[in-house]
Amino acid sequence: MNYKVIAFDLYGTLLNTDGTKDACVRYFGDKGIELVSLWRRFQLEFTWLRSLTGDFKDFDEITADALVYSIELLGLDHTNELVEDIARSYLDLPAFDEVGTVLARLNRNFETMVVSNGTPSSIKIAVKNAELHSSLNYLVSASAGGVFKPSPIAYDQIFGFTACSKAEILFVSSNSWDINGASTYGFDTFWVNRRRAPFENLGARAKYVGQDLNDLMILLDA
């Protein structure tokens, strides 16, 4: 292995998106638990649809739109203030248990970066709030090209931060659609299969698979 850069997806890979549950349950009780998964589902779907149509909105706006749609789909009432308060929980997502230790160790021997659909400001705040900023060399907004992952244009943004070749970059994500996109783009990929789910049948597959980032560290002998 001749990897020089380890590129990580952020939401669901380093940060646990289920961390929105407290805010959702605070307003909606048991319905808030259902809201968490619906919100994440439509957040992703809205990014893909806007990439396809060319009707771009940034990730923060899409996150709020998906939240409103999910609330309304559940037949719940909301105000602008409520939506803004719950949406802010995306800035305070907790890191998965092993992430801080693993990133600190990997950062000794590799350049490390986040490659996220998030806006530059939200990525920066979320990474800082999760106390991961000292172990990441670069924070890359994949949507800077006006589309979202898994568009090839989104992965192109990585090369504004490194002169390394595709062969020198290992892309890491817990989202199999992201792994498919990065693999199709030409990266070697590591799928963090935290939920022990089957891989989506989209074509390209991960080169490596592990249950968490400790398995990545073993692979890289870091």
Catalytic residues: 9
52: its two tokens: 């396809």
**Cα gap 23→185, rounded to integer Å:** 36
**Cα gap 79→186, rounded to integer Å:** 44
- Amino acid in the structure at residue 9: D
139: three-class secondary structure by DSSP: strand
Q: Angle, nearest 10°, between helix axes 31-53 and 59-73?
A: 130
Alpha helices in the chain (DSSP H): 21-28, 31-53, 59-73, 80-87, 99-106, 120-129, 152-156, 176-185, 213-220
Of the candidates 78, 72, 135, which has an alpha carbon nearest to the alpha carbon of residue 101?
135
Residue owning tokens 């939506």 = 83
80 contacts 67 by C-beta, under 8 angstroms: no
**Cα gap 135→39, rounded to integer Å:** 29
Of the candidates 4, 10, 2, which has an alpha carbon nearest to the alpha carbon of residue 174?
10
Half-sphere exposure of 170 (CA within 13 A, CB side): 21
